[in-house]
Amino acid sequence: MHGYDWLAKLVTVAILAGFSSVILVMLLGQSRVFYSMSRDGLLPKVFSELHPVYRTPYKSNLILFVFVGLFAAFVPGDIVGDMTSIGTLFAFMLVAAGVIIMRKTNPDAKRTFRTPLVPLVPILGIIVCGAMIFGLGWPNWSRLLMWLAIGFVIYFGYNINHSKLSNPK
């Protein structure tokens, strides 16, 4: 379309800004996940060290920012976007499954949040997220499987011997 090249460029800038903000927010959340995992012995202690003034997991933030920054610098944006999508959807599926499992295995546990209509809502969440993942194509599935393999290596190489749940002191 002649005369609308400026609009295409504006949309591209908006997409890049959207990707950047989503990745930034996810990184801040990920540092808190790593903080909790580190406190449970599932990651090295460096991930649970807090800043003396701000009380945030600053070393975890720095490590993740450097890692993701390098990753984003050398991997095309569309691949990073797809990896972010499939990873987030897969995490949502795991959380939904975890709600069902926790309700069955530990029904009397104190709940800090409520999920209505269990198991219907978690099952619907798993189905909807699974359908969206299904549409992301084989290259994204292969990358997800690769990251899962890396996660298993980390778990069985480090976590299983350091977990506070497996090895209470």
Where does a domain end: 74, 99, 122? 74
Q: Are residues 55 and 98 in the same domain?
A: no
Where does a domain end: 22, 50, 74? 74
Picking from 26, 138, 22, 19, the residue whose alpha carbon sits closest to that of residue 76 is: 19
Q: What is the pLDDT of residues 104-149, one digit of tens each?
A: 999 998 888 888 999 999 999 999 999 999 999 899 999 999 999 9
Where does a domain end: 43, 74, 105? 74
Q: Are residues 88 and 137 in the same domain?
A: yes
Residue 169 confidence class, pLDDT cut points 50, 70, 90 = low
Q: Are residues 161 and 86 in the same domain?
A: yes
Average pLDDT over residues 8-18: 88
Q: Are residues 137 and 166 in the same domain?
A: yes
Q: Are residues 93 and 151 in the same domain?
A: yes
Q: Are residues 58 and 118 in the same domain?
A: no
Contact indicator for 57, 31 with CB cutoff of 8 Å: yes
Q: Are residues 92 and 148 in the same domain?
A: yes
Q: Are residues 90 and 137 in the same domain?
A: yes
Q: What is the pLDDT of residues 63-107, one digit of tens each?
A: 998 988 898 889 997 888 888 889 989 999 999 999 999 999 999
Q: Are residues 101 and 140 in the same domain?
A: yes
Q: Are residues 19 and 95 in the same domain?
A: no
Q: Are residues 57 and 3 in the same domain?
A: yes
Q: Are residues 66 and 104 in the same domain?
A: no
How much is the pLDDT for 1?
58
Contact indicator for 84, 26 with CB cutoff of 8 Å: yes
Q: Give me the long-range contacts of 60-65 (CB less than 8 A, separation at least 24).
A: 60/31, 60/34, 60/35, 61/27, 61/28, 61/31, 64/27, 64/30, 64/31, 64/34, 65/27
Range of the domain at 21: 1-74
Domain count, the chain: 2
